[in-house]
Amino acid sequence: GAVVSQHPSRVICKSGTSVKIECRSLDFQATTMFWYRQFPKQSLMLMATSNEGSKATYEQGVEKDKFLINHASLTLSTLTVTSAHPEDSSFYICSASRAGPGAQYFGPGTRLTVL
């Protein structure tokens, strides 16, 4: 159990376009989903925490108008990178957890390249 999928796995887009990434918990209901970003040879950076049916909580320095998060159901959260620029190129990873202080389960990640 505890499988998380992410789509797409890789996207290459032109500067100025918006990119939508989906994160799904396949075999459990995720009360909370997390979005991370990881630059090469660096550690995971938490961008935001989203709870189903409520607004996401963004980490300091993360622009909520640029990284739109929607957590419409207990199995789906989406991250939209609006007006992407080359500096947004990164590895975006979502994770999901059940209720309580348990482990997080990660999706396989989305590698975004903005030209």
**Contact set with another protein (CB under 8 A):** 34, 43-44, 46, 49, 57, 91, 93, 97, 100-109, 111
Using the minimum distance from each CB to another protein, give the nearer residue, 46 or 62.
Answer: 46
Least distance in Å: CB of 80 to another protein?
20
The SS3 of residue 48 is strand
Q: How far apart are CA 107 and CA 23, in angstroms?
A: 7
| Closer to another protein by Cβ: residue 82 or 111 | 111
Nearer to another protein by Cβ, of 31 and 70: the residue is: 31
